[in-house]
Amino acid sequence: MKYLVAILGLLSSLAQADVQPFTSGSLKKIQDERTGRPFILALWSASCTHCPEELRMLGQWVKKYPRTDIVLISTDSPAESEELSKLVQNYGLSSKQQWVFADPQPEKLRFEIDRRWYGELPRTYFFDAQHRRLATSGLIPHEQLERWIKDHVK
């Protein structure tokens, strides 16, 4: 019985680690799945200089506050999904929902996410329970993340 539970747990974590294609309408789907609940939307790239530090910090916060709902969106391509999954796993975020830009014109996806976002990374959105959002470009200030988690994660 313990063996079966362990296998089911492993399969569950593998299923969660799947990188989904982020296309037009994906943000609405993400928000609809979280109606009435706060979450963090973190955009990053494997080639981004500061993204590893941010992913490391988010991974540490997830250990401290496991109920924190974080959605990861890579601005790379679906062809890199396996590498992206490994990177996310290295930072302790493999249980979090993962997406990757899957449109030949990524500008359209950026515009759909935020008309005032020009592609700088990392880019993080803090959504409250009513889905009002606060955007941060660059590394998230530690104090901002801590304050948001304490205010929104129960």
Instruction: Output the domain CATH number for residue 145.
Output: 3.40.30.10
Range of the domain at 133: 2-152
Tens-binned pLDDT, residue by residue, of the chain (154 aa):
544 333 334 333 334 458 999 999 999 999 999 999 999 999 999 999 999 999 999 999 999 999 999 999 999 999 999 999 999 999 999 999 999 999 999 999 999 999 999 999 999 999 999 999 999 999 999 999 999 999 999 7
**Domains in the chain: how many in total?**
1
Give me the pLDDT at residue 154, please.
79
Both tokens of 89, joined, read: 């796993």
Distance CA 82, CA 34 (A): 26
Give me the pLDDT at residue 80, please.
97
Q: Cα 91 to the chain's mean position, in Å? A: 12
Distance CA 80, CA 97 (A): 16
Give me the pLDDT at residue 1, please.
52
- DSSP H helices in the chain: 2-16, 26-33, 51-64, 81-90, 106-113, 142-152
